[in-house]
Amino acid sequence: MLPLSDVRILAISQFGAGPYAMTQLADLGAEIVKIEYPATGGDVGRYVPPGASDGDSLYFQSLNRNTRSLTLDLRDPRGQAIFHELVRTSDAVFNNLRGDQPAALGLTYADLAPFNPAIVCVSLSGFGSTGPRALEPGYDYLIQAYAGFMSLTGEPDGPPARGGVSFVDFSAGLAAGLALVSGVMQARATGIGTDVDVSLLDTAVSMLNYLAAWTLNSDFRPERLADSSHPTLYPSQVFETSDGHLVIMCAKEKFWIALVERMDLPELRDERFRSFGDRLENRETLIPLLKAEFRKHPTDWWLDRLRGVVPCAPVNTVEAALADVQVEARELLVEVEHPSLGTLRQTASAVRFPGKQRDHRPGSALGADTEEILRERAHLDDETIAELRRDGVV
């Protein structure tokens, strides 16, 4: 049995952060009923290229694995009544709407406690439910700018840059998933649910962590550094090789000693490079020496010489990263059979437990599970379902 196999979640979410959170929980066994608004064609992620057609896409499938789809108009009183009936037998209601929308749609604990006092209501928004930006839409791109990430990314003489992956979305999704599971545990112990307010900005600012501590408590000011260097630990950065690029991370003194031994460059044994502080102070002398040496040989030559002794990595393309032997050994790619797209290869959840893993299935077509859910959990008959469908409620 998977660890969350007895957890039921109603999810009003779309695009990236929210669906990512739900996929992580679904992979661990949770039942996710994705509620989509019928009049607008459901989750906008269904229409994101490439590979988008007929209300489905590779993007949507990568973020909605193992979820069921229920079309329901929550603004219609009949839709609300159905939703409330589903809440009675659910553990949590999750949304990633704008900060003011959960209250407007009746998705808060105060709204839903009358139907299930133990319901956990998790909201993941751009800026949270309070503060002057609560009404603004928030996206990963914007939050990377707001939180200062872009000011630290790129070369010093270039423009600010966004990280190539939507890591704020995904990190916020993980934070929201942790919050939801924590809330459910508390509710099962006490019988009382709660509201949980998570935001992209909250997550991003928390990720500033030691940079924030340095900024708040010293005269250190983070900035973009050449070669994606660590701000204080040298050498920890990208180096050009004769045929590509290599990352070296001397995060401990023993790794610097090992690097000096493996490079066999007498100049590196200079007293000016003995400690972290020495190398930081004399980095303008040290780094050119290392750059010149690394350019003499190809990346694989350096990897053969350093891997397992000095922390190092090639700068892979995404294609190369997915083909890495460690990725294969860790079974980090899964296959999902899709009725029209065929066999889809996707990244697995990073959280897995020993034993049998979930048999993955694709995210459902828009509204594909509506009638089944309405019969099983809302206890509606065929005539009522047909009427609701005619009126656009489902």
Among residues 147, 104, 140, 141, the alpha carbon closest in space to that of 123 is found at: 104
DSSP alpha helix (H) spans, 92-199: 101-104, 109-112, 140-146, 167-190
Task: Provide the token pair at 140.
Answer: 């990963």
Q: What are the angstrom distances between the C-alpha of 147 and each of 8, 18, 130, 154, 312?
A: 34, 20, 17, 15, 29
Q: Which residues pair with 247 in a beta bridge?
A: 238, 313
Q: What are the angstrom distances between the C-alpha of 367 and each of 33, 41, 105, 364?
A: 10, 10, 20, 7
Catalytic residue among 43, 56, 140, 169: 169
Residue listed under structure tokens 């007895």: 6
Q: Please, are residues 373 and 17 in contact by the beta-carbon 8 Å criterion? A: no
- What CA–CA distance (Å, rounded) separates 120 from 195? 6
Beta strands 67-71 and 8-12 are unpaired
Please give the backbone phi and psi of residue 189, each rounded to the nearest 5 degrees, phi first: -80, -30
- Specify the DSSP element, H or E, that contains 120: strand 120-125
Residue listed under structure tokens 């007498």: 266
Task: Please confirm, yes or no, whether 169 is among the known catalytic residues.
Answer: yes
Task: Provide the token pair at 90.
Answer: 């659910």
- What CA–CA distance (Å, rounded) separates 259 from 306? 7
Q: How far is CA 267 from the centre of its chain?
A: 44
Half-sphere exposure of 285 (CA within 13 A, CB side): 12
Other C-beta atoms lying within 10 Å of the C-beta of residue 131: 12
Other C-beta atoms lying within 10 Å of the C-beta of residue 328: 11
Other C-beta atoms lying within 10 Å of the C-beta of residue 89: 13
Rounded-to-5 percentages of helix, strand, coil across the chain: 45, 15, 40
- Catalytic residue annotation: 169
